[in-house]
Amino acid sequence: MRVARKLGVETVELPSLRLLKRSLDARGGRVRFHLLLEVGGAPPPALALPEPREVGGARHVAIVGDGPAGLFCAYQLARAGVACTVLDRGKPVQPRRRDLRGLQQEGRVDPDSNYCFGEGGAGTYSDGKLYTRAHKRGDVRDVIEILVRHGAPDQILTDARPHIGSNRLPRVIAALREHLEGVGVVFRFESRVVAFARGAGGRVRGVVLADGAEVGADAVVVATGHSARDVLHALDDAGIRLEAKGFALGVRIEHPQALIDRLQYGPCAGHASLPSAAYRLAYDVAGRGVFSFCMCPGGFVVPASTGPDGLVLNGMSLSRRDSRWANSGLVVAIEPEDCARAGLAGPFAGIELQRRVERAALDAGGGGLRAPATRADDFLAGRASSDVPQSSYQPGTTPADVGAVLDASGLPLASCLRTALHGFGRRMRGYAGGDAVLLGVESRTSSPVRVPRDPLSLESPDLAGLYPCGEGAGYAGGIVSAALDGLRVARAICATPGPVAPTT
């Protein structure tokens, strides 16, 4: 109506408008919403085409891991009518909830069902953020449309930083799986892969499960994410080449959400139209990157350990992002040569570095998955905290020296983080004050191991028919970058001659 009055015309004379993108800009103390609109365009096309269709034929693919890489790989294969079986060591979304309660309330870790393992992978119950810096890796829009098609809110199609929420994403993942089951895709949960079988001519024959059963396949996709270390060892045992790759490691930093709102929105903080404020920070320390990761406005810190011998933290938000706290990973980039400086070598050096700090965090927390915690001003001063504010982290916190936990790595991670935190505090006054708490440790930002692949066929050069998938996802964009890789690998499989030439 305001536009019509401005132009001096009747409302019915205005052309149709369609929202293409919506973003929030709070830079420079001015809060503005930016809208990109299409005027008088054609009706939007149907979402997520082409449709999955009934699968069959002689070709069969086994997909190890039901995270976004594996799930979207199965979706793309079903679009081509190629049969596949998705294997996951964990449980479907609903029974998986009970194991997460055991983590939160009892400090009990099920090594096969936790925040990292189970239907939907690590993202299912740890936020559902969908923004990514990996736009060159494929069609992000296709991933978003598939999620909306299966129950995600429509606004993720237009939001610049789309987010589903840990309360909604499990239903979306379950609906996606049920759709694929309806066209013949097979899902097998509580099926942990322990070995890879070779057939005649040095080609993959399938996978072996923990109960001794073998699942035969013409191609095997390994989409196990950043934490299935035993599967990496199984690949090593099968003679598959592995390489150390860069990752990042640090802490979770938690603030009162009201503080972050004031820092970002200024006098507009508290306005009913504004969401809980987010931020993104980066700092260069002598050529080493230190940056915020997986920032969760109005969120919670959660235990993401995958075994009883280490403490790992992550963050999540519900769809409304309305908790009293804001948290973010604050992590330091680590390259393979850094591991060598810490006295570690080989493709598993990064994993051993992770283990060092995860064990140190568990010890400093005092057990029961309690997290060692240090106020930011104490951390900057290089001392332990005698007390810390209330935290969203349910297993509880123990006042400690998080710097000493990071130093267990054998690298100057605490020093790098202090330098960056000083810089962040200058940019956002109060960010590094006594109301901010550092909790240890955030160590699973992405896999520290890469499985090499041919750049064209995407197969492992060491075993024909084996396709690594999604292990590069993480701080490049988590769910979306893994899903994009799943779609890409499925297309590569369909382009490779097999028992049946699939159609697309």
Instruction: Give residue-wise pLDDT tens across range 445-458.
Output: 999 999 999 999 99
User: Is 500 inside a domain boundary?
Assistant: no
Examine the pLDDT at 49 and tell me if it is beyond 50: yes
- In terms of Cβ atoms closer than 10 Å to its own Cβ (0-12, 13-18, 19+), residue 202 is exposed
Count of structural domains within the chain: 3
- Residue whose tokens read 């990042």: 248
Q: pLDDT tens, 424-481?
A: 999 999 999 999 999 999 999 999 999 999 999 999 999 999 999 988 665 445 788 8
User: Is 50 inside a domain boundary?
Assistant: no
Task: Average the pLDDT over 86-109 and give the result.
Answer: 93
238 and 249 in a single domain? The answer is: no
434 and 474 in a single domain? The answer is: no
pLDDT of residue 42: 75
Determine what percent of the chain is predicted with pLDDT higher than 70: 95
131 and 223 in a single domain? The answer is: yes
Q: pLDDT tens, 158-202?
A: 998 888 988 899 999 999 999 999 999 999 999 999 999 999 888
User: Is 220 inside a domain boundary?
Assistant: yes
315 and 428 in a single domain? The answer is: yes
**CATH value at residue 94:** 3.50.50.60
Q: Is the pLDDT higher at 5 or at 238?
A: 238
> Is the bond leading into 441 cis (omega within 30 degrees of zero)?
yes
User: Do the Cβ atoms of 260 and 427 come closer than 8 Å?
Assistant: no
* Residues 5, 9, 10, 12, CA torsion sign: negative
The CA distance from 301 to 315, in Å, is 4
Measure Cα distances from 20 to 42, 143, 204, 270, 373 in Å: 13, 16, 45, 27, 43
Examine the pLDDT at 126 and tell me if it is beyond 80: no
* Residues 383, 384, 387, 389, CA torsion sign: positive
34 and 60 in a single domain? The answer is: no
Examine the pLDDT at 209 and tell me if it is beyond 70: yes
Per-residue confidence band for 503, with pLDDT thresholds at 50, 70 and 90: very low
User: Is 190 inside a domain boundary?
Assistant: yes
pLDDT of residue 138: 55
Examine the pLDDT at 136 and tell me if it is beyond 70: no
335 and 434 in a single domain? The answer is: yes
399 and 463 in a single domain? The answer is: no
User: Is 45 inside a domain boundary?
Assistant: no
User: Do the Cβ atoms of 450 and 243 come closer than 8 Å?
Assistant: yes
187 and 259 in a single domain? The answer is: no
pLDDT of residue 500: 41
Examine the pLDDT at 393 and tell me if it is beyond 90: yes
185 and 305 in a single domain? The answer is: no
pLDDT of residue 375: 98
Per-residue confidence band for 499, with pLDDT thresholds at 50, 70 and 90: low
135 and 6 in a single domain? The answer is: no
237 and 140 in a single domain? The answer is: yes
User: Is 51 inside a domain boundary?
Assistant: no
pLDDT of residue 476: 44
Average pLDDT, the chain: 92
3-state secondary structure of 143: helix
Query: Which residue range(s) make up the domain with 120?
Result: 56-242+451-495
The CA distance from 421 to 436, in Å, is 11
For the whole model, what pTM was predicted? 0.93
Q: What's the token pair of residue 371?
A: 């997290």
pLDDT of residue 132: 64
State the alpha helices, DSSP H only, in 266-374. 336-341, 349-365
The CA distance from 490 to 250, in Å, is 34
The CA distance from 504 to 501, in Å, is 10
192 and 335 in a single domain? The answer is: no
User: Is 486 inside a domain boundary?
Assistant: yes
